[in-house]
Structure 1
Amino acid sequence: MGKSTELQRCINILKAGGLIVAPSDTVYGLVCDATNEVAVKKLIQVKNRPLGKPISVFSDGFEMLETLVETTRHKEILKRLLPGPFTVILPSKHIVSPLLESERKTLGVRFTTFPWIQKLVHMYGKPLTATSANISGRPPHYEPKGFIDDLPAGKRQLIDHVVDFGKLPHNKPSTIVDLTGSSLQLLRKGDLIPVSEHTFTSNRAQETKKIAAFLIEKYTHTITSKPLVFILEGEMGVGKTVFAKGLGEYLGVVDIVSPTYVIYYEYPVKKGNIKLFLHADLYNIEESEEFSHLGIEDYLTEGTVICVEWGNRMSPLFEKIKEKSKVIFVKMDYKSETHRIISVKEL
């Protein structure tokens, strides 16, 4: 069955109050119309979810999100976290079934970059439930068969359709961020852990790579006519090359090596509108005159992603780069031997 046919079939099921098992950017989920109380009750029955325990919903973008929850005080941080593997908790506007809200009348909302779910929510035109396909208290599932096999026969009959994308990567469920108080609160840690609206924490190389992948995915969605430049700053060994490798792996480049002795390497890319990845290391640049021979400004063209380690040394070129590019400044600091704080700022 083609993807468009599958999407239309799911839409028809959702309109009829059906319940679907579907893939997401994290785990397989249980999806129904979040405004249909009969469908929501069926979902709660399948999950054995205690009444009063909230369930999050998918939005297809900021416009829908603003109809579901109060966003006035938090627009800046929402733009930094979304789209991405985050669930944000905000005061509900009571558009969805009250069974999905918390006792405090808050609602968890997701805005994912997973194309299939994004398209489904957009085509359906209403919020859909965003809860993992598992019985409450049991682990989430990365394959639909495991979930279906886990269900008693009576509950299995409540599932109207399964969208099978095979085995998903073992990403953790989304990070849950409560924005209802005076400061950001983490309720559940996923793969990406924000400690403020500008800052993430990483405890291992793989987490640093996932932060890099999240950022490049987020910002390549927002630019169409400018190159994207990541300027990395941090002490030796803090993980700048690991971050660069995370960018490269997202773009399909797996053999990233540190270009310390040649200043930069360029890698051809075929990822959406991105055609080239340039990875530079300015550690050995000592004189400002040396920049005139590098030619980095020649790469400031549409469809290029540039990552510059020791980017704080590129002040002679900075104004030109800022004028022609979307610049993301990334500062990496040691918190302990394995723990890093990664601060992100748009310039």
Structure 2
Amino acid sequence: AEWKEIIRTAVDALQQGSVIGVPTDTIYGIACLAQNSEAIRRIYEIKGRNGNKPLAICVGNVEDIYRYCTVTVPDPLLHDLLPGPVTLVFERSGTLNKDLNPFTPLVGVRIPNHAFMQELALKCHEPLALTSANISSQGSTLTVEEFQDLWPRLALVIDGGRIGDACSPESRLGSTVVNLSIPGCYSIIRPGCALAVTEEILQNRYSLVMPWHPSYR
């Protein structure tokens, strides 16, 4: 019951255009509704980041990816990588808010391997814009205390406990970001915390190649 209550409170805050602090499977994030332009402006202000750094979207299940992205890979590939610590970059569809990353035709999409985040995205019936819970260019955060300086600007902070291992630098890397917008190819935008396993799946299971790979003609 408590879980349902927290989800309901979070959905209400998001639907009012607020930005909230959330746990994910990799690091803490701040989230707002991707389709709410006012909330998008707010998330950039909170981060203190320039408007040219893209925000990823988070959806609740693989089917939702098709609404907001032009998918260039076989459906089983999506299910092999997601939910998980991976952000897949595709061309965006016309359904996605034009004010979200207006400077690029691409968008990164995530389904964190985290029941709370999946449920939250499903209950909102639209994607969440998601970015790390820290001031731009500062280290990523594994506990809510580590981004205490942002609390006053957030409508709600959901404490999911410590994420990962504080002693391991890998646990602060965030998701592996991979560009799949060119059919048959992939390129790594950010190595992140799941590079080896992601590349293994892309290369061995789906025979995707790097665009500058000698076998690419």
C-alpha contact 1:42 1:158 (8 A) present in aligned 2: no
Work out which structure has the larger RCO, using CA pairs closer than 8 Å and 6 or more positions apart in sequence: 2
Partner of 1:90: 90
SS in 1 for 2:163: coil
Aligned counterpart for 2:164 among listed residues 164, 169, 180: 169
2-structure distance, mates of 1:36, 1:104: 18
2-structure distance, mates of 1:100, 1:189: 23
Partner of 1:136: 136
**Deviation digits for residues 93-145 of structure 1 (CA, Å, limit 9, x no counterpart):** 13333343363311100012211111111111110122110111111111112
**Deviation digits for residues 7-32 of structure 1 (CA, Å, limit 9, x no counterpart):** 10111111110110010001110011
The root-mean-square deviation of aligned C-alpha atoms, in Å, is: 2.1
2-structure distance, mates of 1:24, 1:15: 20
The worse-fitting range, judged by mean Cα deviation, of 177-186 and 19-28 is 177-186
- How much has 1:76 moved relative to structure 2? 4.2
Partner of 1:118: 118
Partner of 1:178: 179
Partner of 1:13: 13
C-alpha contact 2:90 2:107 (8 A) present in aligned 1: yes
C-alpha contact 2:19 2:43 (8 A) present in aligned 1: yes
SS in 2 for 1:32: strand
Greater CA radius of gyration, 1 or 2?
A: 1
2-structure distance, mates of 1:2, 1:74: 38
> Letter of the aligned partner of 1:11 in structure 2?
V
Partner of 1:60: 60
SS in 1 for 2:135: coil
**Deviation digits for residues 284-333 of structure 1 (CA, Å, limit 9, x no counterpart):** xxxxxxxxxxxxxxxxxxxxxxxxxxxxxxxxxxxxxxxxxxxxx9xxxx
Q: Structure 1 residues 98 and 135, CA, compared in 2 at 3 Å: closer, same or farther?
A: farther
- Unpaired runs of 5+ in structure 1? 201-328, 330-347
**Deviation digits for residues 177-224 of structure 1 (CA, Å, limit 9, x no counterpart):** 001135110111122113354458xxxxxxxxxxxxxxxxxxxxxxxx
- Count of residue pairs the alignment pairs up: 196
Q: TM-score, normalised by structure 2?
A: 0.83
Report sequence identity in percent.
Answer: 26
**Higher strand fraction: Structure 1 or Structure 2?**
1
SS in 1 for 2:199: strand
Partner of 1:187: 189
What is the 5 A alignment of 1:63-78? 63-78=63-78
2-structure distance, mates of 1:102, 1:89: 15
- Unpaired runs of 5+ in structure 2? 166-170, 206-217
- How much has 1:54 moved relative to structure 2? 0.7
C-alpha contact 2:73 2:180 (8 A) present in aligned 1: no
> Letter of the aligned partner of 1:93 in structure 2?
S
